[in-house]
Chains A and B, each alone.
Chain A
Amino acid sequence: MKPHRLCMTHHLVLSYGLHNKMEIYRPHKAYPIELAQFHSADYVEFLHRITPETKDLYASELTRYNLGEDCPVFDNLFEFCQIYAGGTLDAARRLNHKTSDIAINWAGGLHHAKKCEASGFCYINDLVLGILELLKYHARVLYIDIDVHHGDGVEEAFYFTDRVMTVSFHKYGDLFFPGTGDIKDRGEREGKYYAINIPLKDGIDDASFTRLFKTIIAKVVETYLPGAIVLQCGADSLARDRLGCFNLSIEGHAECVKFVKKFNIPLLVTGGGGYTKENVARCWAVETGVLLDTELPNEIPNNDYIEYFAPDYTLKVANLNMDNLNSKTYLSSIKVQVMESLRSIQHAPGVQMQEVRLSL
């Protein structure tokens, strides 16, 4: 995980002059008590206290909270969490107070963090906190996740409720992290059918992905009628990502963002995964442009990090020459299953559901 990619993104956005079309805010640092709106108090307290110097004294706690390996303890870890979580919280509040229609926090989107433990370099789940904030003003919130990894932390947080519908497109199988997100996982109790998982195989390309995305999201919005949408734009679903295995170009990825924007529903956009720094910066700069209805010229303007965009200094990320293991039949069957799931939600929630029949 390279937080430096955020510097690079912001520099690109500024050097393209996009600050002339939007307002820029510095978030407050989220207070521990705000973080504890979702996370357990002891976990937040531990994150607050632990430092690289003292971590060796707390071996058992480190294990309990899953810190130390994938989620290392580093200097100013808590401050880092406070800043990015504060960003998503402030973004959600701006949407609630209707002072913004779209709010972006590229530093957010850490969707793996759980209530009592860190996971996948995510310590605090800013998305859950943001959604909880939105739920104060909206009956229903839709969460869309196009990171290559399953949005497990967010799905788990809202698995039993119908007030949040979580939709995640991700790679599934071959022991790919985090291992959850099967199409059969649909939510439980009141949240049954309010979690949608689209498991995909390696190498999905722009055409297949965007087609599937648009069909499903259109139906979801039409059926669920959310008051607000939270979109996690993990850039590891791009081709050539260090950890990802999809074959999307920036155009394909940004197409999804464009599509969601068209609904004109209050929208909170966050970053997420992305492990090839310069491609992440390119992707999120382009998507900032998309959200501002601005197409950016291909040549990257001079900025402090221009050297990272060598050799051609353009916004293009070339696709890979790899096989798309998602056959038409497979994608079609996924679509059918998801549509069937959506049919079970006849109206917006609050209506009695059908009796569950034992099916074998």
Chain B
Amino acid sequence: MVGSPAPPPSNSGSSAAAFKSNASGLSPGLEPTQAASASPAAAAPPPPSPPPVRVPSVTLVAVLGVVGELLARGFLTRLEIRDAERTDARAPALFDRVLATFLAEAWDPEGASRLPIPPPPLGDGSEVELLRVLPAVRAHGGLAGVASWAAVAEAVGLDPATGTAVKILYRKYLDQTLAKPLEVHKEVESSGCNGGRSRRSGSGKDKFLSSLTKDLKRKRDPFVGMLNAVRQVAKNPAEAGMKNYDPCGYLNTAVWLRRHMFAAECLSAERLEGMLNWVRHAAKNPAEPGLIGTDDCDDHRSTADMLRREMRANNIGSASSQNGHYYEDALRCINKSSASPIRPSGQADIPEWTGKAPSRHDDRRALRFLGERILIPESNEALDVGSIGKGRQDNCYCQSPGSIDCIRFHVAEKKDELKRELGSAFYKMGLHETGEDAAHSWTKSEERRFNTIIQENLPSSEYNFWDILRTAFRYKGSKAIASYYHNVFQVQRRAYQNQLGLEADSDDDSIEPGFLYSRQGNIGRSRSRPAASSSGNGKALRLCLILISDR
């Protein structure tokens, strides 16, 4: 009974039954390999099927379980496991070898050498068996859930004081490599089925083992179950169109499989054509809405990326680090697609560096995106050093220097100067709509209405006048309203505060009632025509103008 593996069930519904019938957990390590050779994706050679002479221990079963898991994912294809290693005593050594092989395959060969296996001894001289650490941590709730690393250390047979060291080891060796893919895979498989969470909590090595075993059984089923699911979808596309109709993750597996197949072989003609059409379309209409963000285009993008990478890879020299980059990139792509429900990590895709910058001619398209020229200084020699940054002169001849009107006049004066200097750039930069010039497009009655709305909805803690403003001035648009508020209203408010000598906080938007009243009276006074102003300052302003022209 021990030596003969149970045949894979022919339909998905029997997975529960199959688990029950194999509850003893005997020889699970053999079944995944059989599934691996049955699947079209993994090219694992059929492993030898030795008859174990006695019931394998829990530890050995765990190791074989991990082996099966990795084989089903396409790793360890060249790993030969000898009969002699399938013993309890050799289980830890076998695990170390498996881990080393997996690291060499999943990362570049140099990366594997960075993590010595077995790990060096701890500070107190004790050796750590990674194989024992993995189930212990899982039993304590995984990396995130461990409450006490001292307890984990104890469970592994080490001094509790080495808890931190065990944690570091786990993170370096097992979290990045094994546990994550396993955890990820379980999440894919168990979403929607049986509520995977209850399986992962709990304590004890047997719980870990049984959950792993269950997982292995389910791993085998998906390939057959998945084919059935795909067949179902083909028969009833409308029914399966509902996004959530994928309770056992079969369709995810199907997508992963297809991607894996196409990544490894050359791209099919239709796929290439579809992708090239999309790229062409994107180049012609970059601003088109909906161009990205759909499933189709994500496919096209990843195909395009892969094609480009493959093409570049053939031109790159044999610098090992670059090959390593490419290898890791490609694998990351495959791994990512198999872990599709998980949020992608936050890293950017770095472009390849071929050793020299691209020729300017290749990048002609980018020349369109250097910014629209607004203002270029005429010549550097004619620069009047004194004209740079002339500060504010306080010796004006206004009737009441420093008053609101005086300031407004001088601001207008300076702005006219700037307008003459900048020419058309003045309008291109939108300066004709900043400051109090923003009020030009508002009639007197509109401005009064603005003021009244704010008066009637004086903000206490919230700016509840915005909605009312937006409704009242809907025809102007929110841009115009915001512009008026910041350029006219707030500036005048600040001027009012300054006149009163109030300590102003630029971020305190509460409004003094006195300001609103004084504003009602002043609305409509145009600042840009100071000579025509009807205030008592008229005479003084004219004097200023004359003085200026005398210079």
- Of A87-95, A199-207, A257-265, the one contacting chain B is A87-95
Given A25-B370, A303-B414, is A132 in contact with B392 using a C-beta cutoff of 8 Å?
no
The CB with the most chain B CB atoms within 10 A, among A34, A158, A307, A310, is that of A307
A-B interface contact total, Cβ < 8 Å: 243
Tell me which of B291, B388, B478 contacts A33 (CB under 8 A): B291
Give the complex CA separation of A303 and B370 in angstroms: 29
B231 within 8 A of A: no
Give the complex CA separation of A22 and B371 in angstroms: 14
B462 within 8 A of A: no
Give the complex CA separation of A16 and B428 in angstroms: 19
* Chain A contacts for B501, CB-based, 8 A: 311
Given A25-B371, A303-B414, is A297 in contact with B391 using a C-beta cutoff of 8 Å?
yes
* Chain A contacts for B119, CB-based, 8 A: 358
The CB with the most chain A CB atoms within 10 A, among B293, B367, B434, B487, is that of B293
- B114, A356: Cβ atoms closer than 8 Å: yes
Given A28-B369, A307-B494, A360-B164, is A300 in contact with B436 using a C-beta cutoff of 8 Å?
no
Q: How far is the CB of B105 from chain A (nearest CB, A)?
A: 16
Q: CB-defined interface of B407-449 with A at 8 Å, one 1/0 digit per residue?
A: 1001101110010001001001101001111000000000000
What residue in chain A is nearest B383 (Cβ atoms)? A20
What residue in chain B is nearest A298 (Cβ atoms)? B391
- A97, B367: Cβ atoms closer than 8 Å: yes
Chain A facing B: main interface SS: loop
Q: CB-defined interface of B304-325 with A at 8 Å, one 1/0 digit per residue?
A: 0000000000000001010001
What residue in chain A is nearest B482 (Cβ atoms)? A75
Give the complex CA separation of A39 and B414 in angstroms: 43
- A138, B357: Cβ atoms closer than 8 Å: yes
Give the complex CA separation of A197 and B437 in angstroms: 46
- B506, A278: Cβ atoms closer than 8 Å: yes
Interface residues of A in 129-147 (CB under 8 A from B): 132, 135-139
- Of B34-42, B233-241, B255-263, B347-355, the one contacting chain A is B347-355
- B434, A11: Cβ atoms closer than 8 Å: yes
Tell me which of B115, B122, B388, B487 contacts A304 (CB under 8 A): B487
- B375, A93: Cβ atoms closer than 8 Å: no
A111 within 8 A of B: no
Given A31-B286, A41-B297, is A115 in contact with B389 using a C-beta cutoff of 8 Å?
no
- B389, A276: Cβ atoms closer than 8 Å: no
Q: CB-defined interface of B344-384 with A at 8 Å, one 1/0 digit per residue?
A: 11111111010101101001001111111111110010010
Interface residues of A in 230-249 (CB under 8 A from B): 242
Give the complex CA separation of A182 and B429 in angstroms: 42
- B410, A360: Cβ atoms closer than 8 Å: no
Tell me which of B114, B123, B298, B387 contacts A355 (CB under 8 A): B114
Tell me which of B321, B368, B375, B392 contacts A313 (CB under 8 A): B392
What residue in chain B is nearest A52 (Cβ atoms)? B478
Q: How far is the CB of B333 from chain A (nearest CB, A)?
A: 15
* Chain A contacts for B374, CB-based, 8 A: 24-26
B43 within 8 A of A: no
A319 within 8 A of B: no
- Of A159-167, A214-222, A329-337, the one contacting chain B is A159-167
- B375, A23: Cβ atoms closer than 8 Å: yes
* Chain A contacts for B435, CB-based, 8 A: 303-305
Given A89-B369, A156-B347, A299-B391, is A32 in contact with B292 using a C-beta cutoff of 8 Å?
yes
* Chain B contacts for A22, CB-based, 8 A: 377
B80 within 8 A of A: no
Tell me which of B291, B350, B370, B376 contacts A93 (CB under 8 A): B370
Give the complex CA separation of A204 and B257 in angstroms: 56
Give the complex CA separation of A156 and B346 in angstroms: 6
What residue in chain A is nearest B431 (Cβ atoms)? A14
- B414, A302: Cβ atoms closer than 8 Å: yes
- Of B96-104, B165-173, B204-212, the one contacting chain A is B165-173
Q: How far is the CB of A61 from chain B (nearest CB, A)?
A: 12
- A308, B389: Cβ atoms closer than 8 Å: no
Tell me which of A136, A163, A308 contacts B494 (CB under 8 A): A308
* Chain A contacts for B491, CB-based, 8 A: 304-305, 307-308
A18 within 8 A of B: yes
- B298, A41: Cβ atoms closer than 8 Å: yes
- A311, B370: Cβ atoms closer than 8 Å: no
* Chain B contacts for A160, CB-based, 8 A: 347
| Nearest 10 pairs of A and B residues by beta carbon | A304-B435, A299-B391, A45-B293, A25-B371, A16-B389, A302-B414, A157-B348, A307-B494, A90-B371, A24-B375
Q: What are 29 inter-chain pairs, A to B, with CB distance below 8 A?
A: A17-B389, A18-B388, A22-B377, A24-B425, A25-B373, A28-B372, A32-B289, A45-B290, A90-B370, A90-B371, A96-B363, A97-B366, A116-B344, A135-B350, A135-B353, A136-B358, A156-B346, A157-B346, A161-B347, A297-B391, A301-B391, A302-B392, A303-B415, A305-B491, A307-B407, A307-B491, A307-B498, A308-B494, A360-B122
Interface residues of A (CB under 8 A from B): 2, 4, 7, 10-11, 14-28, 31-34, 36-38, 40-42, 44-46, 48, 75-76, 86-87, 89-91, 93-94, 96-97, 99, 114-116, 128, 132, 135-139, 153, 156-161, 163-164, 189-190, 242, 275-278, 289, 294, 296-308, 310-311, 313, 350, 352-353, 355-358, 360
Q: 8 extra interchain contacts, Cβ-Cβ under 8 A, other than A302-B415, A358-B120?
A: A15-B414, A41-B298, A132-B351, A157-B348, A302-B410, A302-B411, A311-B498, A352-B110
